[in-house]
Amino acid sequence: MRIDPLSERRLASREAARETRREAITTEMAIKSDRWIRQQALQHKMIEPFSEKQVSAGVISYGLSSYGYDLRVSDEFKIFTNVNSAIIDPKAFDERSFVSVQAASVIVPPNSFALARSIEYFRIPRDVLTICVGKSTYARCGIIVNVTPFEPEWEGFVTLEISNTTPLPARIYANEGLCQILFFQSDEVCETSYADRKGKYQKQQGIVLPKL
């Protein structure tokens, strides 16, 4: 039986759609275990310094977990303030928006915000993407940590964003755990990495402010 041209085009379109779905199903990103994280850290310096086990005695825990790594916050902080009536503008950030503090712990004012940095330096493999989730100890105190994904071949110290969502002052402890990094590895290497496109936050040192 002869199929008219319109029907042939429809059949071809359906087959192409099915092929696209099959490709999507076969492309996976798997979360990586403690074994993989340890290997990458020790052999390829993915995390420096690296703690091979969870440290929790008397501190907010940090170090290697089953499927992630709890990073530590350093003793450098930038706490936002409205003393100078500055406007937050991501295209023209005014450094009068915050005060810099170096201390073993800091107080983030009610409904306010602070920047900090990680103690650890990260080097992300080309086929890996990370996401960050907050630690429950801080989350239960109304303290939210936001960190954008570490993209393939990004490296540097992490600039950490800490939000106090409560109407009360909140204390953050330096040299202790702040958030957990989860590592996802793709089954194929990306075409263009963060290093390839010379990302503006590549190899960042200290607390890096918004860049245009």
Would you say 178 and 73 are in contact if contact means Cβ atoms under 8 Å apart?
yes
Q: For residue 134, which phi and psi values (nearest 5 degrees)?
A: -75, 160
Q: In 10 A of CB 4, how many CB atoms?
A: 8
Is 120 designated active site?
no
Instruction: List the catalytic residue out of 161, 176, 188, 191.
Output: 161
> What residue type is 180 in one-letter code?
Q
Say which residues have a Cβ less than 8 Å from residue 112's Cβ, sequence separation at least 6.
79, 80, 81, 163, 164
Q: In 10 A of CB 146, how many CB atoms?
A: 12
Give me 101's structure tokens: 């503090």
Give me 65's structure tokens: 């977990």
Name residue 47's beta-bridge partners: 122
Residue numbers annotated as active site: 161
